[in-house]
Structure 1
Amino acid sequence: MYLLSRKENYEESDITRLQESINEWAKLFIELFEEYLLSKLQFSKLHSWVFYICSSIREFGTINRYITETYESLHKNYIKKSYKLTNKKEIEKQIMKILNILFW
């Protein structure tokens, strides 16, 4: 599955094989871990991978450049740091004020 997902060019048969292997992997993953996790495996990345990655490949091509690092670092730099400056009451308003001061 990993090697199929890293290809530069896809034929429709490759995408079909990838979707089949994703479905097989997801089923096994859920069987193995469902009873141990309180979240009942409600992970957005897992959901996106299982249900949307193949249609995304069809529409946009290779997924080799997909990363979450950018968004995760933005969350850390802007939200987490701002959160630490709040008094933990009406957090959203305080974070927005902090960000407004920093960027305007």
Structure 2
Amino acid sequence: MSETREPEMPDNGIVRMTFQDYDRFLEVTEHLGTPTFWPPIEDVDLMEEDPEKWILFACHLEEHGVPPKTKEEEYRRKTLRGFINRHLELCDDEEEGNE
């Protein structure tokens, strides 16, 4: 399948997508040229209210962001990673097809 599927989000707030779809997403967004930043904690709190809306954006920032330069940016990155870890579940293609 050459097309990226939309991530699935059951009622528990966890977005599921395959490793293959995640890799495709990263390939597509790698050369967008959009600036990345480490969002303030308040912004991550807003993302928590609608994880399905924000999870791919958060992954883009995490995967393509420049390394943190300050302790504050390190903390922001850690907070963003926590959001991603709570709301993104990557699975094999076989697992996705069985559910």
TM-score (norm 1): 0.27
TM-score (norm 2): 0.28
Higher alpha-carbon Rg: 1
Question: Bigger relative contact order, structure 1 or 2, given CA contacts below 8 A and separation 6+?
Answer: 2
